[in-house]
Structure 1
Amino acid sequence: MSETGELITVLADGDTVVVRVTDEIDADSAPLLAETLERAALRTPARTVVDLSAVPFADSSILHVLLTAQGRHTEVGGRLIVAGPLSDIVRRLFDVTGTAELFTMAATFEQALEA
């Protein structure tokens, strides 16, 4: 099953949902990502790979969305994996806020699928 939007592409394959984000995430676009990740968490078993490799910019709203999604996945017994490689700006956002250690991070999409 797959869904395609301008900002987010979702592909479900077996027990894995891949959420690819292909543009900036800010306060305007974050609710769409939040809704998508909530739907992904409801799959059983829920394993979601969030591919941020094509995100050129993100503000702190992405952190709120990812932290909420992480909590939701944990509640339902699932996993959330954030995949890169991350742009310098997005990587800096995780580093400066100290939130990278709160997520399962994978350097590449392929590594995320193996996690």
Structure 2
Amino acid sequence: MSKPNDAERRAQTIAALRDFADRVEIDPTIPTPTDVDIRVHLHSTRGTQAQRFAAVFDFAEQHGAPVTENPRGHRKTTKRFGPIDLTVLAFADKQNTAFGVVTRADDPALTAA
């Protein structure tokens, strides 16, 4: 069995989210969700470091969210949709010692690419 491509994975995720929503709607034994955390992890198998970081910035800029850099050099952004937090996290190729808010223009990992 081959690995699904990005379009197939996206379709599977959408179907699973719809199934989850339907189950919450019809099954009273499922407690009402008050906070839902969804994480999208962009590992090294998902393009170059610059491509992964650019994907985080693209999402953040589209949704008006800040991008942060953690002590390991990963880039992360989160957007809240009602009770749902969608976090996009791009892993760095190697660990870094800096962390905090970072902008696309000042991100050394993107300016070097």
Point out the structure with max Rg over C-alpha. Answer: 2
When the two structures are superposed, what TM-score results if normalisation uses the length of structure 2?
0.31
**Greater helix proportion:** 1
